[in-house]
Copies of this chain bind each other. A is one copy, B any other.
Amino acid sequence: MQDVILSLLAKEPAHGYELRQRLVKALGPAGGALNPGQVYVTLSRLERAGLVEAREVAQPSHPDKKVYELTASGRERVMLWLTDVTWSRVVPLEFHLKLAAAAATRLTDPVALVDSQRLELLRELRQLQELALQEPPDSDGALLLEGASLRLQADIRWLEVCQQRLVERESR
């Protein structure tokens, strides 16, 4: 969250309300879940950490607003974030633990578990592809959806491999 806010401020100074709106828009359909308060909490923590600075701006026919902008060390942190290359590869590990737990507890059949997850991902993939049709081609939104879609396909293929292995082992 902090890095996200900072990256938005890297573009131009803004106040909390504006940031919240930009975030909701950037998050798309998932944007509704964003709690307004969180933006302000994050901003005040960033200020305490010296990464942003605020100045109050009076408005004639509106409540006052507080415009935040990056400090030097804030810009430094954005640069670090930009060049950071740790991508999340946590999920397969987590799912692997789930499989092991399912096998150990025998509360759920591992094969059924893999299958339900696979079906769910397929459902999500169809939904994504519907969304992609509504997006103008070659837009940023379409590019984003393509990234999510490629990942989903990779995960689905992996689940298929898992399922195959499980069935093979069962038949031995």
On A, residues with C-beta under 8 Å from B are 4, 7-8, 10-12, 26-27, 75, 78-79, 81-83, 85, 87-98, 100-102, 104-105, 107-108, 113, 116-117, 120-121, 138, 140, 143-144, 146-148, 150-155, 157-158, 161-162, 165
Contact = CB atoms under 8 A, between A and B. Distances in A.
A102 B80 CA distance: 12
Contacts of A92: 144, 147-148, 151
A98 B10 CA distance: 10
- Nearest 7 CB-CB pairings of A with B: A92-B147, A154-B154, A11-B104, A7-B101, A85-B120, A150-B154, A147-B158
Contacts of A91: 87-88, 147, 151
B83 A116 contact: yes
7 contacts: A7-B98, A10-B104, A11-B100, A89-B152, A95-B147, A143-B162, A146-B158
Given A146-B158, A154-B150, A78 B101 contact: yes
B165 A104 contact: no
